[in-house]
Amino acid sequence: MPSKFRQLPGNRNHIILGTFSNADSQQRYLAGWPTERAVKANYDSGMQCGACSFFAPFDSDWGLCCHRESRHFTETTFEHFTCPHHDNEGWCAHSFQDRNQRMANRDLDDLPVLTSRGWRRAGKKSCKGGKRGDLDS
């Protein structure tokens, strides 16, 4: 099997639903990361998997870590789990881009577009389906 498809040690993920795919990750979560103060601080401040740019949700509680730099890459994780590589984007947004990529693309989102009603800001849709403000308002 090519090395790029090799699973990480401890990960038994064959798309596991409803639980952690890695027992070590589950233990870190249940113990509250006792040896990792920075990770616990992320968790306590709401920087959890459900708000990470690289979290691909399966349902309302579980999803796949898609952050290549994370030790939990390709693991099924709980939405309230976290790691040292958390990339906070918000609880409803998952662009699978790091902060620098999002900042570069933000400029594109702010470009005006011509519509039948005049010039409008393209904007990104918000979590609730709304849009950012118009240029001419």
Buried b (16+ CB within 10 A) or exposed e, 92-113: ebbeebeeeeeeeeeeeeeeee
What is residue 9's predicted lDDT score, i.e. its pLDDT?
Answer: 65
pLDDT tens track of the chain, all 137 residues?
455 555 566 666 577 888 999 999 999 999 999 999 999 999 999 899 999 999 999 988 999 999 999 999 999 999 999 999 998 888 777 788 888 887 777 666 565 666 666 666 555 444 544 333 333 33
Cβ–Cβ contacts within 10 Å for residue 80, how many?
Answer: 13
Establish how many alpha carbons lie within 13 A of residue 35's alpha carbon, considering only the half-sphere containing its beta carbon. Answer: 2
What is residue 15's predicted lDDT score, i.e. its pLDDT?
Answer: 77
What is residue 135's predicted lDDT score, i.e. its pLDDT?
Answer: 31
